[in-house]
Amino acid sequence: MATDARVVVEAEGLVVAPGFVDFHSHSDVSLLADPRAESAIRQGITTQLVGNCGFSAAPMGVEKRASYRRDGLMFSHDGYDWDWSSMAEYRQRLKHAAPAINLLTLVGHTTLRVAVLGQADRPASAADLALMCQLLERALDDGAVGLSSGLTYTPGCYAPTAELTTLVDVLGGSGLGYHTHMRNYSAGLPTALNEALEITDHASVPAFISHLYPAGREQWGTARQILRLLEAARERGSEVCFDVTPWLRGGGPMSQYVPGWARAGGTSDLLAGPMSSSCGSAWLRTASGSAGALPNWPARAGSRLRTRPWRCLRKTMGKSGWRRPRSRPWTLTSCYRIRSAFRLPTASPWRSTGRLVDRRCRNHSGRFPVSSATMCASEGCCRWRRRYTR
């Protein structure tokens, strides 16, 4: 052992490794609010990829910034000023904040769509699509490392395959990839996966499947079928990989389980229309969740709540401004628990584990560490991280 070292780390019984790369993070703006990034550093993460699931911090014009921040999942918390529009300006803000970790960012398809079409439920016109491609090209020139989509969220779910293919074609020849939160993770998972492969094969672009899992008890046991589809694609020459979450319970916005037609126009229109108290109860009981939800989700949500499901659902969506509410009993994890039950062989050579949780978390109330947008959703995973990370 060197005797002239400034610091000696006693690592007996531990693993010494380079910094980990968190390939699926949503710390786009939380690192501006808290650049210490403790929830990453304490797990050994030194690099994060943000802009996933179709949501990125840029490009976004001034006129739509407020509504996008309100409706945009990862951006609605406090602690930062949104004073940028382009990817270059966002990266400059990151440089000024000097976060403790390295950061790479994708360009979100949802972000591009909101910037051009707002929350409209309609196909992009030729002019709209040309402008989206221009914004994407400019963001890539400014340092973005690929394109992401979130096809269970609005307005991403309104985009046909042809729109996504045109945007992914912009990446052709660059070596940059398409990262997709697919349209469906339950019964329609094989179809959604084939769509993603069709889009990327068209331009010979690498495909990255986000948080791949068969969702819902009805899909338990189908993971090997999905793996066979991926293996067949790789044998054909497709460059495709995926990440998974390291927990049994997941958490996501309730909005993605509301049919897409009801979400057109954004949060305000949703709460004034299908979510109004006068018609909401009947709608909730008959909603099909056509935007990728699990089968029979209203009944499941109601059984979890063990109370009047409509009042709780509207309280969750309306009064929280689509943010994950902090007060019981209306946390997302108590409203709806998605059991992924992903039974994948650990030896798969092209799988990564994303969304590492905050190892300091002592409870599972659905709260988020400020420097990460991932949630502590599995006590076993927390124990694993506490044991093997320092």
The pLDDT of residue 71: 80
Same domain membership, residue 378 and residue 288: no
Return the structure tokens found at 152: 């269970």
Is the Cβ–Cβ distance between 271 and 258 less than 8 Å?
no
Per-residue model confidence as pLDDT tens digits over 89-102: 999 999 999 999 99
Is 186 among the domain residues? yes
pLDDT value, residue 177: 96
| Residue 147 and residue 156 in contact, taking contact as beta carbons nearer than 8 Å | no
Tell me, what's the pLDDT at 218? 83
SS3 state of residue 35: coil
Ramachandran class of 296: left when φ > 0, alpha when ψ lies in -120 to 50, beta otherwise = left
Q: What is the pLDDT of residue 221?
A: 87
Residues 308 and 172 in one domain: no
Taking 60 as the threshold, does the pLDDT of residue 238 lie above it? yes
Q: Does the pLDDT of residue 6 top 70, yes or no? A: yes
CA–CA distance, 158 with 163 (Å, rounded to integer):
10
Q: Tens of pLDDT along 341-364? A: 233 344 455 455 444 333 333 333
Check residue 273 and give its pLDDT: 67
Is residue 267 located within the same domain as residue 146? Answer: no
Q: Are residues 30 and 144 in the same domain?
A: yes
Q: Distance between CA 123 and CA 381 in Å, rounded? A: 41
The reported pTM is 0.76
DSSP state at residue 319: I
Residues 146 and 198 in one domain: yes
381 pLDDT above the threshold of 60: no
- pLDDT range class, residue 340, cuts 50, 70, 90: very low
Tokens describing residue 343? 């039974």
Which residues lie across from 103 on neighbouring strands? 48
Mean pLDDT of the chain: 76
CB 301 within 8 A of CB 316: no
**Phi and psi (nearest 5°) for 340?**
-75, -35
Residue closest to 319 by CA, chosen among 251, 263, 252, 254: 254
> For the domain that residue 246 is a member of, what is the CATH number?
3.20.20.140
CA 370, CA 375: separation in Å to the nearest integer? 10
Q: How confident is the model at residue 14 (pLDDT cuts 50, 70, 90)?
A: confident
pLDDT at residue 368, rounded to an integer: 31
- Alpha carbon distance 92, 94 (integer Å): 5
Contact 225, 262 (CB under 8 A): no
Tokens 């049994």 sit on residue: 248
Kindly state whether residues 190 and 329 are assigned to the same domain.
Answer: no
Peptide bond before residue 59 is cis, with ω within 30 degrees of 0: yes
By residue range, what is the domain housing residue 278? 261-335
Average pLDDT on 117-131 reads 95
Distance CA 26, CA 48 (A): 9
Model pLDDT, residue 174: 94
Q: Say whether both 308 and 287 belong to one domain.
A: yes
Domain check: are 314 and 349 in the same one? no
Q: Are residues 152 and 284 in the same domain?
A: no
* pLDDT above 60 (res 197): yes
Cα separation, 39 vs 37, whole angstroms: 6
pLDDT at 308 over 60: no
Contact yes or no for 233/199 (Cβ under 8 A):
no
Per the structure, the count of domains in the chain is 2
Which tens digits make up the pLDDT trace of 239-291? 999 998 777 666 677 777 677 777 787 776 776 666 555 455 555 555 544 44
Hey, is 284 helix, strand or coil?
helix
Has residue 7 been placed in a domain?
no
Distance CA 3, CA 47 (A): 31
Q: What pLDDT score was predicted for residue 216?
A: 80
Residues 221-237, mean pLDDT to the nearest whole number: 93
DSSP-assigned beta bridge partners for residue 75: none
Over residues 32-52, the pLDDT tens digits come to: 999 999 999 998 999 999 999
- Alpha carbons 249 and 338: distance in angstroms, whole number: 6
pLDDT tens figures, 137-177: 999 999 999 999 999 998 999 999 999 999 999 999 999 99
Q: Are residues 274 and 139 in the same domain?
A: no
Quote the CA–CA distance of 76 and 69 in Å, as a whole number.
Answer: 5
